[in-house]
Amino acid sequence: MEPVTRGDPESPLRWTCKSTRHLAEELNTQGYEVSHTLVAGLLHDLEYSLQANRKTLEGTSHPDRNAQFEHINEVVTAQLKRGQPAISVDTKKKELVGRFKNGGRAWRPQGNPEKVKVHDFLDPEKGKAIPYGVYDLGRNRGWVSVGVDHDTAAFAVATIRRWWRELGRKHYPDAKSLLITADSGGSNGSRLRLWKWELQKLARQTGLTISVCHLPPGTSKWNKIEHRLFSFISQNWRGQPLLSHAAIVSLIAGTKTKTGLKVRCVLDTHKYPKGLKLTAKQMTAINLQPNTFHGDWNYSIGPHRNR
C-alpha cells in the first residue's frame, strides 16, 4: 500500500489511491494469483467505489455568521417592500481570451470536438476578461461589465454606476436609496478603503444614500448573484472557447432563463490601476455611517461628504 496510503496514521483503517491493476500486481508479487477484475469485484463487495473530492468542509465560521444572514434578509426584504433598489454584486471568475479550453460540453458533430490549445498561457494580444456583475434582486435582471484591465474597487463601482445610468434609474425613478449586498473580499471588500471612497463619489453623483451589507467571510457562494446570474452564464457558454471579448459579451448577453432572467452586457476598456491608497484625511471625508450591528459589515454612505 505504501507510499500512496491514505488515512489516519494512528488508525488501523487505511485506503489507497492505487489503481486495481497496480493492486493486482502488488498482490501477485506477494504470491496471490489475482487479476485486476477480481480486485475490482472484491472492492465493490466491500462497498468501495471510485470517488472524487467533495467540497464540504468550510472551516471555522464567524460566531455572528447566521445573525448576519438574518440581518441581510431583513434589510433586503424591507428595501424591496419600499420599492427601492437592492442589488447583489461580485466579480465572476477571470477568463483567458482565445482558443482555450472552457469547462463543460456542447453539442457538435460526432468525432469533431472543438480544438483548443494544450496550455493555458495568457495571449498578450487578446488578454483576459474580467466580468463584474450587478444582479437586481427585485426585478431578476442582470448587468455585466467585461473589464480588460484590473479588478479594482474603481472598476466595481464603475460597473454599478453604469448599471444605474442605463437601467437602475429608469426602473426606480423615485429611488432615494440603494442597497448593495456583496462579499467581504475582493474589489468590493468590507475593509477596502477605495471601495468606500468610490461609493462616496457614486452617492454624491446620484444623490442616493448607499447602504452596504457584506456577507460573512468564507460565505461568498451564498451571494445571490452566484446562483441567480453567474451560474446561468457558465451554463450558456459551457464547452465554447471564449475567442474574443466580443464573443464573451455576446454569450453573456444571450443568457436567459425560464423564470425571466435577462442580462445586459457591455465591454469596459477603461484602465483601472492597482495599488491606489487613500490617506486618513480622505477617509474622514467619507460620510460613513456604521450600522449598530456589525458596523464593519453593515454601513451607509450618504450623498454629502463630511466636512
Q: What does the alpha-carbon distance between residue 35 and residue 264 come to, in Å, rounded to a whole number?
A: 58
Indicate whether 10 and 88 sit together in one domain.
no
Q: Is residue 37 domain-resident?
A: yes
In a domain, 112, yes or no: no
Determine the 3-state secondary structure of 270 from DSSP. coil
Does a structural domain hold residue 203?
A: yes
Residues 185 and 238 in one domain: yes
Amino acid in position 242: L
Sign of the CA dihedral with 221 first, then 79, 284, and 69 last = negative
Judge whether 229 lies within some domain. yes
What does the chain come to in residues? 307
Domain presence at residue 58:
no
**Residue 25 shares a structural domain with residue 166:** no
The verdict on 27 and 73 lying in the same domain is no
In this predicted structure, what is the pLDDT of residue 206? Answer: 96
| Set of cell numbers at residue 85 | 433598489
Consecutive H or E run containing 71: helix 65-81
- The parent domain of residue 197 ranges over 65-105+120-301
Do 94 and 236 fall into the same domain?
yes
CA 89, 95, 97, 101 torsion-angle sign: negative
CATH number reported for the structural domain that contains residue 167 in this entry: 3.30.420.10
Q: For 5-60, write each residue's pLDDT tens digit.
A: 444 555 454 555 568 888 888 899 999 999 999 989 998 898 888 777 776 666 56
Cell of 112: 469533431
Which of 117, 116, 151, 108 is closest to 131 using CA atoms? 151
Supply the pLDDT for residue 46: 86
Residue 271 pLDDT: 97
- How many Å separate Cα 48 from the centre of its chain? 34
pLDDT of residue 6: 47
* Domain match, 19 and 166 both: no
Residue 53 lies in a domain: no
Distance separating alpha carbons of residues 268 and 276, to the nearest angstrom: 20
Which residue bears the cell 463487495?
45
pLDDT at position 59 is 57
The confidence score (pLDDT) of residue 1 equals: 43
Rounded to 5 degrees, φ, ψ at 220 are -60, -25
Specify the number of domains making up the chain.
2
In a domain, 57, yes or no: no
Q: Which residues contact 42 (CB under 8 A, 6 or more apart)?
A: none
Per-residue pLDDT of the chain (307 residues; tens, 9 = 90+): 445 444 455 545 455 556 888 888 889 999 999 999 998 999 889 888 877 777 666 656 788 889 999 999 999 999 999 999 999 999 999 999 999 998 888 878 888 888 988 888 999 999 999 999 999 999 999 999 999 999 999 999 999 999 999 999 999 999 999 999 999 999 999 999 999 999 999 999 999 999 999 999 988 888 999 999 999 999 999 999 999 999 999 999 999 999 999 999 999 999 999 999 888 888 899 999 999 999 999 999 999 866 5
| Residues 159, 242 within the same domain | yes
Q: Is residue 20 part of a domain?
A: yes
pTM for this model (two decimals): 0.82
Indicate the DSSP class of residue 230.
I
∠ CA 25-30-32, nearest 5°, is 75
What does each C-alpha distance from 23 to 14, 141, 177 come to in angstroms?
14, 54, 65
**Are the CB atoms for 176 and 209 separated by under 8 Å?**
yes
